[in-house]
Structure 1
Amino acid sequence: MDCTCSMRPQLSAVTEQIRAIVDETLQSYPGWTVKVGFAGYFDHKSAGEYERNRLPFTLDFTTDVEGFKEAINTIVVQDGYDYAEDVLAGLEGAASHLNWNSKVRLLIHFGDAPPHGQIYLICTFCLPSVYMYLVR
């Protein structure tokens, strides 16, 4: 999840949606062992706390769903000095810092800005509302 300041207005809605997804998954697959985890990222220009490939907030996969739900209430958003964010380092961090050992795997990304790089962003007027993702 994008944990930069631009996500502050959506933080409550996102954490509520995460809890709803977890609950629906448990109801849809009774008898399955469901593990949940979380990885939050900042932008690569964020000062101090964040270094590239280190995530500011990580919860490794667990079957303790109630503990997970409580933990996501402690997510803090901060920094973010430009429109684009370090989405790719966040996804790479989630892939490499969490213990992905189950046969069935699902990653859901929450964010409000595209990754850095011209291949992902075309900004004609350089306004946050004018953008288009390009996917190879």
Structure 2
Amino acid sequence: MGGPFWRRRPRAWTIPKGEPVAGEDTLTTALREFTEEIGTAPPDGVPHLLGDFRQASGKVVTVHTLHAPDFSVDVVRSNTVALELPRGSGRFVEVPEVDDARWTPVDSARGLVVAGQVAALDALAART
């Protein structure tokens, strides 16, 4: 995740995710969020619903997967979000929603992602 709050925190990585807009299904949301957060369209392929996973905050994240062995991204160009820094100051700064991204083996990713998404990685590993 991007911004100063997450800069030095362990386990601050996450899958691209976001809230559906009105009338949008979870797959359409996932594809849109991938494009916004990575800066390129998702690869072609057949998406599969991996499942719903509850975060520590109580938020439920619906995860879709897509096998694309030849897909790569050279540069991440995330959208930005406005953050009030410091909180309550009335001063807003624009920060990238994602400040880094990379393809990582599942075993390595388990130690990087927020705790609530480890179950999604386990479900992915069980499918392959």
More helix by share: 1
Q: TM-score range by the shorter chain?
A: under 0.3
More strand by share: 2
* TM-score under structure 1 length normalisation: 0.24
* TM-score under structure 2 length normalisation: 0.25
